[in-house]
Amino acid sequence: MTDADAAAAALMDARRVQAEIVEKSQCPPAMHLVFGGLMGALVAAQGGSASVVFGVEGVVMLAAVILFLRTRRRLGFFVNGYRRGRTRWAVAALLLVFLPAMALAAWCKLERGLTWPALALGALTFVAGTAASWGWRRLYQSELAAGPANAA
Q: Is residue 65 a contact point for another protein (CB under 8 A)?
A: no
Write the CA distances from 36 to 43, 44, 136, 148, integer angstroms. Answer: 11, 12, 12, 30
d(CA 44, CA 125): 9
Q: Does 21 bind another protein (CB under 8 A)?
A: yes
Distance CA(74)–CA(41), nearest Å, equals 26
Q: Which is nearer to another protein, 17 or 96 (CB)?
A: 17
Q: Which residue from 1, 3, 30, 111 is in contact with another protein, where contact means CB under 8 A?
A: 3
149 binds another protein (CB under 8 A): yes
Which spans of this chain sit near another protein (rule: CB under 8 A)?
Answer: 2-4, 7-8, 10-11, 13-15, 17-18, 20-22, 72-73, 75-80, 83, 144, 147-149, 151-152
